[in-house]
């Protein structure tokens, strides 16, 4: 698949991939997330994601919601530690309607006080709901634990008191300080010529004044392993093991992606799934995940199990980690693992919405999109000694933290 890109005079980058489909996907990805908040702003990035749809100079909330839904489309958004994204799926004939709507809510939102107060209670309810779900809450508490004292450790949702304190002036100040035009990418996958998409983006976004980022983020450099057990009184014991991992620019990031896939990725034949679930039947919810940020990363292993099986599960995980650290993969096993990861990546490209967001994030971080063929080639060149080395650096028990709810 070929991608076409350009940069507007105000610094906003555009990227488009043409596909033969009646359905198109478009989004605006912004290099701003919860880590960019000051302590008194915790939850602001997520709050903006909610309230940016609540009214503009020329539209009320209902009209924003209906603008795409009236023609069968849908709009959504998300906030992460480092990104905020607004995206939509729609029939190709409504490209202009979509791009114009994006520009309206990003440039001309008014954040009406009545709507803010309603959305504050919605988010507080979301926070309370999250606190009632230990299998989700434990991930936030783990990151708070390992990134202690750093913005990376803060909960994306914020706290009820802070969320209820936010006013329209606070939102505008945060956006002026953090929504930099050279840190925005408008991404598109659809059946439209790149030239036409670029023309639409320029028409509706060139009025946004250039606001370039001049300061770098506060890097995280103080990881120390820690062990913690919290009495929750839950029916299941929930556990996370893990620690700091490679950042998104690290040369061994892709080998770690492959190692994570082998250890406990999405496939049913991952080592942890085979050991804890298939052979021993002691865990239903089980996964390992690797998240790379711009200056750090995390690799985590999560599982839930009956309390009486907790120690047994920990011993089985320790065994699988030791095997990856002590014994290099054989060529047949390595070849299967490479092919499996390549297949998963290829299938992910079939989802054009995921593809749209992926190329947007790639453009945001690397200012380019690497072809699948080049990625496949790099995966095929990963060696067993490389994986062994990565396993010993990232999965060293002396560097792993642990958090248990029981």
- Total tally of structural domains belonging to the chain: 2
232 with 190, same domain: the answer is no
Whether residue 163 lies inside any domain: the answer is: yes
Q: Are strands 74-79 and 84-91 parallel, antiparallel or unpaired?
A: antiparallel
Residue 132 binned pLDDT confidence (cut-offs 50, 70, 90):
confident
Whether residue 355 lies inside any domain: the answer is: yes
CA distances from 289 to 261, 262, 292, 302, 360 (A): 8, 11, 10, 8, 22
141 with 265, same domain: the answer is no
Is the pLDDT at 2 greater than 90, yes or no?
no
Residue 46 binned pLDDT confidence (cut-offs 50, 70, 90):
very high
53 with 164, same domain: the answer is yes
Rounded to whole angstroms, the Cα distance separating 230 from 243 reads 18
243 with 196, same domain: the answer is no
Whether residue 80 lies inside any domain: the answer is: yes
Mean pLDDT of the chain, nearest integer: 96
Please write the tens of the pLDDT for every residue from 59-81: 999 999 999 999 999 999 999 99
Rounded to whole angstroms, the Cα distance separating 282 from 113 reads 50
192 with 51, same domain: the answer is yes
Is the pLDDT at 315 greater than 90, yes or no?
yes
Please write the tens of the pLDDT for every residue from 192-236: 999 999 999 999 999 999 999 998 898 999 999 999 999 988 889
273 with 344, same domain: the answer is yes
State residue 86's pLDDT score.
98
Whether residue 277 lies inside any domain: the answer is: yes
- Of 174, 205, 236, the position where a domain reaches its end is 205
Whether residue 221 lies inside any domain: the answer is: no
State residue 233's pLDDT score.
86
Whether residue 283 lies inside any domain: the answer is: yes
Q: Are 190 and 92 in contact (CB under 8 A)?
A: yes
3-class SS of residue 38: coil
131 with 253, same domain: the answer is no
State residue 44's pLDDT score.
98
**Domain CATH for 113:** 3.30.830.10
Please write the tens of the pLDDT for every residue from 239-293: 999 999 999 999 999 999 999 999 998 888 999 999 999 999 999 889 999 999 9
91 with 172, same domain: the answer is yes
232 with 196, same domain: the answer is no
3-class SS of residue 137: helix
State residue 59's pLDDT score.
96
State residue 234's pLDDT score.
85
Residue 246 corresponds to which tokens in the numbers above?
Answer: 């490679």
Any idea which of 15-19, 50-54, 140-144, 345-349 has the lowest mean pLDDT?
345-349
Q: What percent of the chain has pLDDT over 90?
A: 93
Rounded to whole angstroms, the Cα distance separating 27 from 56 reads 19
Residue 390 binned pLDDT confidence (cut-offs 50, 70, 90):
very high
3-class SS of residue 314: helix
Task: Count CA within 13 A, CB hemisphere, residue 348.
Answer: 14
171 with 269, same domain: the answer is no
pTM, full prediction: 0.94
Domain that holds residue 256: 227-405
201 with 58, same domain: the answer is yes
CA distances from 172 to 168, 178, 182, 387 (A): 6, 10, 18, 46
234 with 201, same domain: the answer is no
Whether residue 90 lies inside any domain: the answer is: yes
Longest dimension (CA), the chain: 64
Whether residue 216 lies inside any domain: the answer is: no
CA distances from 186 to 103, 136, 168, 216 (A): 11, 30, 25, 22
């Amino acid at each position: 698949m070929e991608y076409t890109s350009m940069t507007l005079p105000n610094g906003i980058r555009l990227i488009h991939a043409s596909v033969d489909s009646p359905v198109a996907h478009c989004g605006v990805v912004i290099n701003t997330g919860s880590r960019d908040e000051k302590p008194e702003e915790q939850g602001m990035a997520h709050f903006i994601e909610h309230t940016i749809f609540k009214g503009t100079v020329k539209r009320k909330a209902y009209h924003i919601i209906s603008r795409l839904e009236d023609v069968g489309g849908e709009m959504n958004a998300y906030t992460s530690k480092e990104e905020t994204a607004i995206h939509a799926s729609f029939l190709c004939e409504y490209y202009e309607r979509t791009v114009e709507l994006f520009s309206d809510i990003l440039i001309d939102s008014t954040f009406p006080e009545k709507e803010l107060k309603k959305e504050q209670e919605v988010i507080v309810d979301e926070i309370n709901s999250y606190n009632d779900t230990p299998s989700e809450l434990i991930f936030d508490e783990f990151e708070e634990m390992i990134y202690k004292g750093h913005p990376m450790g803060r909960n994306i949702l914020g706290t009820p008191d802070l969320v209820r304190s936010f006013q329209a002036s606070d939102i505008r100040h945060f956006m002026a300080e953090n929504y930099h035009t050279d840190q925005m990418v408008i991404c598109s996958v659809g059946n439209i010529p790149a030239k036409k998409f670029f023309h639409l983006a320029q028409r509706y976004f060139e009025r946004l004044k250039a606001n370039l980022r001049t300061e770098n983020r506060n890097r995280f450099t103080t990881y120390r392993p820690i062990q913690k057990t919290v009495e929750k009184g839950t029916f299941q014991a929930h556990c996370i093991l893990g620690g700091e991992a490679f950042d998104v620019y690290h040369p061994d990031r892709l080998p770690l992606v492959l190692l994570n896939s082998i250890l406990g990725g999405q496939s049913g034949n991952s080592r942890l799934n085979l050991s804890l679930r298939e052979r021993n039947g002691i865990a239903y919810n089980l996964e390992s995940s690797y998240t790379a940020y711009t200056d750090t990363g995390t690799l985590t292993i999560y599982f839930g199990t009956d309390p009486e099986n907790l120690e047994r599960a920990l011993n089985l995980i320790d065994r699988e980690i030791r095997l990856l650290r002590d014994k290099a993969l054989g060529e047949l096993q390595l070849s299967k693992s490479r092919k499996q990861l390549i297949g998963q990546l290829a299938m992910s490209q079939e989802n054009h919405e995921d593809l749209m967001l992926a190329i947007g994030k790639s453009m945001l971080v690397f200012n380019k999109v690497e072809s699948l063929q080049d990625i496949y080639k790099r995966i095929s060149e990963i060696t067993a000694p490389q994986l062994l080395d990565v396993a010993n650096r990232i999965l060293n028990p002396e560097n792993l933290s642990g958090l248990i709810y029981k």
